[in-house]
Structure 1
Amino acid sequence: MVGVPVPHEIYSLITSYLSLSAVSDWIKLFVVGGVLETCRRFLFGWWDAFLETFWLIATIEQGEDAYRWVLYWLSHQRFWDKARVVDIAMNDGFGPDNDEDEEEEEMGSSRKLSYLPNLATPYKLWYKGRYLAITRESRWASMQIKIFSRDRAILNGFMEDARQLYKAAEKKCISIYAANSVGDWEWMTSRPKRPLESIIMDPGAKERLINDARNFLASRKWYAKRGIPYRRGYLLHGAPGSGKTSMIHSIAGELGLDVYIVTLSRAGLDDTALTQLISEMPRRCIALMEDIDAAFKRGVMRDLSAEDGPAHPPKVDDSKKDNGDDGDDKEGERPKPHDDAASRVTLSGLLNALDGIGAQEGRILFATTNNYRALDPALCRPGRMDLHVEFHLASRYQAEHMFKSFFMEEEEGHGYGAPTPEKSSEMPSSVPPSPPATPPSTSPDLPPTPTSEAKLSAGFCARIDLSGQEVCELAARFADIIPERQFSMASLQGYLMLYKSDPRAAVADAPAWVQEEKDRGAARGMHATDTVVTSGVARLT
């Protein structure tokens, strides 16, 4: 039986193997190779670190505004038209240029063709005598910028140039942001600014509103000196299709502010997420909450039976709804209690987000509703909704000026709109709150009837030349035909669109259209109390 080897025997065995020349050579090769590889890695690591001292490297995440700035700047470089490796996307692009080419319009393309930098492909060019490389990283959805320079001012100048180029193109547009699935603000698209002159309201109404907003933006130091939170809220309420959303679009363009859409009914949104969203808004922007009365399962009215005083506003029959084609047209259909897709935002959470300790300052809040009486008084109080602006159905004044805006030549129609803007100081400092008045019988905005559809071809006829005086006369006749406060501006616009090249036919067919709409409204069971509208003026509460 062979015994267990002792240490002396093991030592002898190892010595015998090491005495072999082949084993000795392999050990030497391993040691020398390891030393050389270690030196190589050290030298190359030192060399790379030395070279990196001559490079400026910046990384931008895809959701950041700077990401779009750089992409837009890159698309305006000379080499971009000759780039051979690109990605193609069917979307609105990554910049404020949304005008489609005539060729695309002729092809009937509803989506714009965009060329984007290819993923993981470095695009190399020269910037102010410095070597520049831009690469879109696919793994982390980011972009890497490398500049062969040790001067940080070069990188700052590059980002500023990209920002200025983007902002210069954006002067004619406003940017629209919305919350993504993870609760971060994400750029959606850019929209052309809408001139304030295109909004047709009764004299002085829109001027008082825009002047109040301008005064707020210029009063930051005044608010800070007096310890007042630097926030302003506007509640636009009234008839569907009366232009509430269009007014907000125009104000955003006039003030040069981006619009952040807060969708309170978004599935998964709770009080904490809402507070975080509002707190992450930039200091100068417009926060938009549309149809705020329809945002909650049980409306925005609390049970005040246990609180002081009978603070219940009059009840409104929610079963009667109006239709419209403006962004604020939809009457708020509240989700049923068993609707699991609704958000988990509560009224108290909304109130805290608007003016709580963590609420963002510097922003302007616009909220719209078609059901003013359904709102809780706590939501409408000053500090949350400082200014209430009531929109109404179209007056004859508005009908006349809308007709002129359709058919008056630009050079002839200059100055036909509303009077000179009034100063904000002329706005009444306090007006006692009062419930909205009851309007005359109204007709809902409904889809075109076969009779009106038969007139669609008129819109494609050759333009009939008319003098400014003739257009004014036709506009006056058209206004006399339209009943006061019975049709929305959206419905009048839809009617005139059928005759955009034939103003005489628009006037001639107007009586029949008015009667037809009245009959359709009667068939739907509309009554004088179905819609709550008042004069389109602003009041402070």
Structure 2
Amino acid sequence: MATPLVLAQQVFSALTNNLATNSTSEAAQATPVPFPTDLSSLVTFLCSLSALRDWLKLLVFGFVLESLRRLAFHFYYKLYDSLFITATFEEEDASYDWVMVWLSKQPSWSQTRNVQISTRNFNLQSNAILIEGEDEDPMAAVVKNDRKLTYLPSVSSTFSMWYKRRWVRVTRNIRDGYYGRREESLELCIMSWGNNILNQLLLEAKKEYLAAQEHTISIYVSDSSNNWRHIASRPKRPLKSIVLDPGVKDLLIDDARDFLESKSWYSARGIPFRRGYLLYGAPGSGKTSIIHSLAGELGLDVYVISLSRSGLDDTALSELISELPEKCIALMEDIDAAFSQTMNRDAQEDIGQDKADQPPRPKQTTSKISLSGLLNALDGVGAQEGRILFATTNKYDSLDSALCRPGRMDIHIEFKLASKYQAEELYRCFYLPDLESEVNGKVAEDDSGYSTADNDEKITTPHVTEIFEAETLPLVDEETRIIGTSHRARVPKLSSSQVSKLAARFAEAIPEREFSMASLQGYLMAYKIRPYEAVSEAPAWVEKERAEIAMKKAQPAKDSAKGATKDT
């Protein structure tokens, strides 16, 4: 009995013999076809092949089909472009914040099913439309977090809304940018024949954003990719809150306003439309504060140029300054410290120690910016026009004369230590009565000057007449006294005449040009609700500050003596 393996071998052998016999017979009967030698014969030969004809038909059909598809899409996009307007807003641009704030105020957001809940205020002091029912208690900021919740478009999702009977599609995207940074973009697709509806939307968004910024100034800084970035909005500071020597504020504000209104005058005479101010002097004398106040008074944004920023070189600085808007304030703080670490603020120099008494220190370069690169950026061919440049320094003598010349720094103003006039005006600013109370005459001349939030709390304070009639102001008896500040327990109520008399006494206790305005402000902050103690304890504070300054001056000599003793 044959096994299955033997049977399979026999069947395979029979099939092989049959195929070989058929191939031999067909080869014997076939007549050889000669290969064409000329072009016409080659074409005829190829056309005679049925498989090639089928492939040619498929190729022509595919070509026609693809052409029709492309033509259909072309007409589709043409129709889409004629019916829809697409606008893209990048996060780095100011218009992104305009549109995001505008979107957050649209009532339709409360009806959508896919939103992002956010506490972002887009650098504004006032939030957008709030979630219905959120607590608006004015004391909420004291007892809890006062950040309001708002609706924003979700990332990578599309939302549809109506604006002035136009259909609008909103898409918000986030992508990975350079240096691992996330970059946001916003896309608006509006169904409209013309651009008028887009223009209306943009103007409305800009108007609402600027209205929310009416009482603030915008602060911009440069990021690692050398782009200007909006980081914050700060409340405008009134000029009357800045106490300087007489005439300084008027000089700055009048000159800056005249410059902003003189563009045609500069252009007619071929003078570059730029203005530079160099503010120098003692630390804490109000240089940065007056710039903040001027920005609010002139309605200009502040662009902070940090010359010590990592990666900033001459080329990057020129590009950065050329990207400044036409009307703005460019601020370079501590411009002397851009080229050497020796230009720092140590306590010895703040109190007036001579440079000869200071131990020598090695210079170290902290910036890739050269002096020539800075000069070219300020007034070179590519320098931006229309901007106002403010530079501050504590060491005027260390600046190169080329940097200080007119055309780069047109006006130089020295800020000195506080005078008696400034001390008196600062006191007035601290304790000036409310305008409403002054007009209504609610503050009596014999008022003690205090009111209490708690009726049960007893307050013992010297009567105003005792202060005014005293020949000398009493000193503090305690050698060590810790003074705290209460912001709401008691509120001073003084008339203008009372404040004037107290301010004059306070100025008498403050020596001329010995302390900075920042020091005086820090002292008065500890007595913000105690105007009488601020006057009576001022002499003791002066003596204490003088003792600390003398100790700081003597410290280097002590260190040198200790070092000499160790060497011997």
| Equivalent residues of 2:169, 2:188 under 8 A apart | yes
Q: Which amino acid aligns with 1:138?
A: I
Question: Do structure 1's residue 408 and structure 2's residue 432 form an aligned pair?
Answer: yes
Which residue does the alignment assign to 1:505?
533
Q: CA deviation at 1:317?
A: 11
User: Which residue of 1 is the match for residue 388 of structure 2?
Assistant: 364
- Asked whether the equivalents of residues 334 and 391 of structure 2 are also in contact (C-alpha less than 8 Å), the reply is yes
**Aligned pairs for 1:120-519 within 5 A:** 120-139=156-175, 141-297=184-340, 320-322=348-350, 342-411=366-435, 451=480, 454-457=482-485, 460-519=488-547
Gaps of 5+ in 1: 9-14, 19-23, 301-315, 324-333, 416-449, 528-541
The answer to which structure has the higher helix fraction is 2
Q: Name the amino acid aligned to 2:210.
A: K
Residues 277 and 411 in structure 2, CA contact (< 8 A), matched pair in contact too:
yes
How far residue 121 of structure 1 moved from its aligned partner, in angstroms, is 2.3
By how many angstroms is 1:125 displaced?
A: 2.0
| Letter in structure 2 aligned against 1:218 | E
Measure, in 1, the Cα distance between the counterparts of 2:546 and 2:31: 114
Partner of 2:348: helix, strand, or coil?
coil
Distance change (3 Å), C-alpha of 1:89 and 1:451: farther
Q: CA RMSD in A?
A: 3.9
**CA offset at residue 199 of structure 1?**
0.7
Q: Look up the equivalent residue of 1:397 and give its one-letter code.
A: Y
Q: How many residues align?
A: 458
Q: Distance in 1 between matches of 2:267 and 2:362?
A: 44
Which digits, 9 at most, give the CA deviation of each residue in 1:183-231, with x for residues without a partner? 1111111111111111111222111111011111111111111111111
Tell me if structure 2 keeps the 8 A contact 1:355–1:383: yes
Q: Distance in 1 between matches of 2:415 and 2:374?
A: 24
Equivalent residue number for residue 533 of structure 1 = none
Q: Give the whole-Å Cα distance in 2 for the aligned partners of 1:50 and 1:412.
A: 64
1:39-188 matches, cutoff 5 A: 43=72, 46-47=75-76, 49-89=78-118, 92-95=121-124, 97=126, 102=138, 105-107=141-143, 109=145, 115-139=151-175, 141-188=184-231
**Displacement of 1:521:** 0.8
CA gap of 1:451–1:64, structure 2 versus 1, over 3 A, is farther
Q: Per-residue displacement from partner, 1:285-309 (whole Å, max 9, x unpaired)?
A: 1110000011113779xxxxxxxxx
- Paired residue secondary structure (1:368): strand
Superimposed CA distance per residue, residues 102-138 of structure 1 (whole angstroms, 9 cap, x where no aligned partner): 4652245497766542112223222222111221122
Preserved contact between residue 123 and residue 231 of structure 2 (Cα < 8 Å)? no
Counterpart residue type for residue 476 of structure 1 = A
Task: Kindly indicate whether structure 1 or structure 2 has the higher relative contact order, using CA contacts under 8 Å at least 6 residues apart.
Answer: 1
SS of corresponding position for 1:181: coil
Deviations 1:415-450 (A, max 9, x none): 9xxxxxxxxxxxxxxxxxxxxxxxxxxxxxxxxxx9
Partner SS for 1:525: helix
Q: For 1:358 and 1:32, how far apart are their aligned partners in 2?
A: 59
- More off after superposition, 62-71 vs 140-149: 140-149
Query: Tell me, which stretches of 5 or more residues in structure 2 are unaligned?
Result: 1-19, 34-47, 131-135, 176-182, 352-359, 440-478, 556-568
Matched with 2:357 is none
Match of 2:549 in 1: 521
For 1:474 and 1:506, how far apart are their aligned partners in 2?
9
